[in-house]
Amino acid sequence: MKLEAKNISVSIAGKNIFSNITPLFPEGSCTAIIGPNGAGKSTLLKILAALNTNYEGEIFLGGENIRKLSRKKIARHLAILPQTMQIPPDTTVARLVDFGRFPYRNLFSGGNPKEDIEITEWAISVVKLEKFKDRQVNSLSGGERQRARIAMALAQRPEIILFDEPTTYLDISHQLEVMQLIRLINEKFKMTVITVLHDINHALQYADKVIVLSGGKILQGAPKNIINAEMLVEVFGVEADIFTNSRGASILSPISIIRR
């Protein structure tokens, strides 16, 4: 399923956030969106998921204008993991993941309970939370909770999945775990992934395409072509070195702030 965004412009409270941007999301790719705080990354993600409709331009999902599609139709093809999500206190992992089946149910039919159970169990196994399925989500550690939320998105059986800063508040081992899970979702299950990342090194290591959102405009291309010392000065006002690590991956090391 193809997701296309054409000439998107947004203003919030009279302030222009971005104008006329056409970010490309190749089918099956893992795209990272990076940029300074307040650049509009979360706004863009919400527009792509039809959670924000206050924009100019067009978004097409499978060739159809997303404004004309129902929430459930969209949710059968596209899932979004927002940065924060309120989870009712007594929600178990299994219950949370089952919420991901909402696009397949309606008032008149309970959907297909057997399929719902199979898919929910599949999603829980992908994130390796089998032993936690009856635990309350709010009693889990940050890493486990994030995996539970990812399972809920997987239960929608989307072809496209959007993440907003999925590693925030996690320690390095749990950051790695989440990034590897995202890569698995992309490579094994062939989902198109679009993820806002605050850690530029994650973009270098895990994305096959990078979109830099800054000053209302975008730069896009292969991570190695986009993420360089010049861009870091220009966009983030930071002087940085880029090294190659023992695995041959490019790694960024910030040195000093040049300007804010």
Q: Which residues of this protein are in contact with ligand ADP, per CB under 6 A?
A: 12-13, 17, 35, 37-43
Is 168 a residue that touches Mg ion (CB under 5 A)?
Answer: no
Q: In the bound complex, what is the minimum distance in angstroms from residue 111's beta carbon to ligand ADP? A: 34
Residue 100 site contact among ligand ADP, Mg ion, none (CB < 5 to 8 Å, cut-off depends on kind): none
Query: With CB cut-offs between 5 and 8 Å by kind, which of ligand ADP, Mg ion, none does residue 35 bind?
Result: ligand ADP
- Using DSSP bridges, classify how beta strands 30-34 and 56-61 pair: parallel, antiparallel or unpaired: unpaired
User: Mutual orientation of helices 142-155 and 113-126 as an angle, nearest 10°?
Assistant: 140
Q: How far is the CB of 56 from ligand ADP (least distance, A)?
A: 16
Under 8 Å between Cβ of 101 and 119: yes
Using CB under 5 A, which residues numbered 21 to 50 contact Mg ion? 41-42
Asked if 9 touches Mg ion (CB under 5 A), the answer is no
**Judged by CB, which is closer to ligand ADP: 48, or 61?**
48
Find the shortest distance in angstroms from Cβ 126 to ligand ADP: 27
Shortest distance in whole angstroms from residue 168 CB to ligand ADP: 11
Encoding tokens for residue 65? 């204008």
Closest-by-Cβ residue to Mg ion is 42
Amino acid residing at 85: M
User: Out of ligand ADP, Mg ion, none, which partner does residue 154 contact, by CB within 5 to 8 A per kind?
Assistant: none
Which residues inside 111-140 make contact with Mg ion, applying CB under 5 A?
Answer: none
The tokens describing 66, both together, are: 């997303």
Check binding of 92 to Mg ion (CB under 5 A).
no
CB-based burial label for 24 (10 Å; 0-12, 13-18, 19+): middle
Residue type at 142 in one-letter notation = G
Q: Smallest Cα–Cα separation from 39: which of 10, 13, 59?
A: 10
Residue 251: CA count within 13 A, CB half-sphere: 8
**Partner interacting with residue 143 (select from Mg ion, ligand ADP, none; CB below 5-8 Å by kind):** none
CA–CA distance, 166 with 260 (Å, rounded to integer): 25
* Contact footprint for Mg ion (CB under 5 A): 41-42
